Chains A and B, each alone.
Chain A
Amino acid sequence: MPSQTDTEPAIRFDNVEKRFGDNVVLHDLNFSVAKGDRVTLIGPSGSGKTTILRLVMTLEEANGGYIYVDGEPLTHEERGGKRVELKEKHKNEVRKRIGMVFQQFNLFPNMTVMENLIEAPVHVLKMSKADAIEKAKGLLEKVGLSDKADAHPLELSGGQQQRVAVARALAMDPEILLLDEVTSALDPEIVGEVLNILRDVANETDITMLIVTHEMQFARDVSNRVLMFDGGKIVEESDPETMFTSPKEQRTRDFLSAVLGNN
């Protein structure tokens, strides 16, 4: 296996193509995310933001091109000029470095909060149960839900469920964290409680983050780069300050005024 040097980007898309039937969603997409970067993807509905995150999480499979994580191919690699699919075992090894928080939380309803948090550390990372519980307790404290360890997910509010989901992803010690509109399913008054926790995560760790959000203030606070997508292509790319105050492209201006106007 290639060494994971710090010079390799955390994520690299190399001519990635993604189609759903005849619908070409991403065409020859190239971009990379450096280690420790916090990159926010913005763009109109259907521009392919979720698809990009799902490709990195291997929830979707690209139709062409290559995705590299720490310089290692994720699902396919080039061998003798051919695009070859990698073994499930390899995919799963690389996948362990990536965590994702979903819009709909997706906690396991057949388990308590604590069981949700220790399930993968114990059964995937083979951590001892005692260590996993110890760690989970720390994470629950961090997300302010120490008293909910024995609760069932469906007994929690949406905001609480999402905080548990963030803790569950962090329990795996991911190098990369993918956040897809993690507050869109929440009532406006509890969006803040989730975003504040994510701000803390951003401040206190060096986890690489790939974020899709409509919360522009949050994007400004945590990200160091913003990519504006339209039709599966990067329209504009800059630091958040420039993107949100003086975007160069008309399409970005239109999009931002529509989003901010709705707020």
Chain B
Amino acid sequence: MGDNFDALIGALPMVGEGVWITVQLTIGGALLALVIAVALGLLARFKNVVLRGIARVIIEFFRGTSLVVQLFWFFFVMPQLGIELPAMFVGILALGLNYGAYGAEVVRGSINNVPSGQWEATTALSMSSTQRMWRIIFPQAWALMIPSLTNLLIQLLKGTAIVSFITLTDLTYATDKLRNSTDTFFAYGVSLLIYFLIAYVLTLIMNALEVQAKHKLGRGESLREALSFRTPRSADGKAGIS
């Protein structure tokens, strides 16, 4: 066992770099996914059939094809078409498109779940459709969508593990290397723990965002009051805080 720890300490820089790449992919992928999710989610609600159709095709395409295939396609096929892209860029792009497509459904669903009375009140106040969306509907939908977005974010984190296929030396890659100098059980144990810690931190951040979003809607305590350990809450917005 002592050998394992010695090996781990020796491998720390490599593991650290792996963690850093995984974190970069996760954050970059998540931010891109969020932008894509909101854009496609809004587009999918348009009355215009063409715009709505475009959104649907993109959403179904990226949900329906696997992340690995998309990754390979961007990294190995695109260069043959003359488009060479850096591995990190491809990783973030594929994660962003894939999870953005899933996120689009979450965004669309949450917007549709804002009570019709809220939409009607904006009409009664003659608000334009842009004002309606950004000032009234989206802030309320945001609170509804966070729990599902948290799930997607954790899945995205786990999804980053396949990028070693495209030469990125992420945490999973580092784990594999670590296996050479430690026993397999130990290496995967360390890996498991680090993934779990990252996921846990992400969950805490998302929970904080959700508490804040709900507090803004006048439901539940403020973030300051809520700073205590808690389990992720369900999407209906009722459980958890009272």
Contact = CB atoms under 8 A, between A and B. Distances in A.
Interface of A: 57-59, 92, 95-96, 98-100, 102, 104, 106-110, 119-120, 123-124, 152-155, 168-169, 172
Interface of B: 115, 117-118, 120-121, 123-128, 131, 135-136, 139-140, 216-219
A108 B120 contact: no
Contacts of A59: 120, 123-124
B219 A106 contact: no
Of the candidates A57, A58, A119, A168, the one having the most CB atoms from chain B within 10 angstroms of its own CB is A119
Given A92-B128, A110-B217, A172-B126, 5 more contacts: A92-B126, A95-B123, A109-B140, A119-B125, A168-B125
A120 B125 contact: yes
B131 A123 contact: yes
A108 B119 CA distance: 10
A96 B140 contact: no
Given A110-B139, A110-B140, A154-B219, A102 B127 contact: no
Interface of B is mostly: helix
Contacts, number: 66
A172 B123 contact: no
A119 B217 contact: no
A152 B115 CA distance: 18
A106 B118 contact: yes
Given A96-B126, A99-B124, A124-B127, A109 B117 contact: no
A98 B57 CA distance: 40
Given A108-B136, A109-B217, A110-B217, A57 B131 contact: no
The 4 closest A-B pairs by CB, nearest first: A152-B218, A120-B125, A154-B218, A106-B121
A120 B135 CA distance: 11
Nearest to A109: B217
A57 B218 contact: no
Contacts of A124: 125-128, 131
B143 to A, nearest CB: 8
Contacts of A110: 136, 139-140, 216-217
Contacts of B216: 110
Contact of A106 (B120, B131, B218): B120
A108 B218 CA distance: 10
Nearest to A123: B131
Contacts of B218: 109, 152-155
Contacts of B117: 102, 104, 106
12 contacts: A57-B123, A58-B123, A95-B126, A98-B124, A102-B121, A108-B121, A109-B140, A110-B216, A119-B135, A123-B127, A123-B131, A152-B218
Contacts of A154: 217-219
B187 to A, nearest CB: 48
Nearest to A125: B126
A98 B80 CA distance: 61
Contacts of A99: 124-125
Nearest to B215: A152
A67 B217 CA distance: 37
A59 B128 CA distance: 14
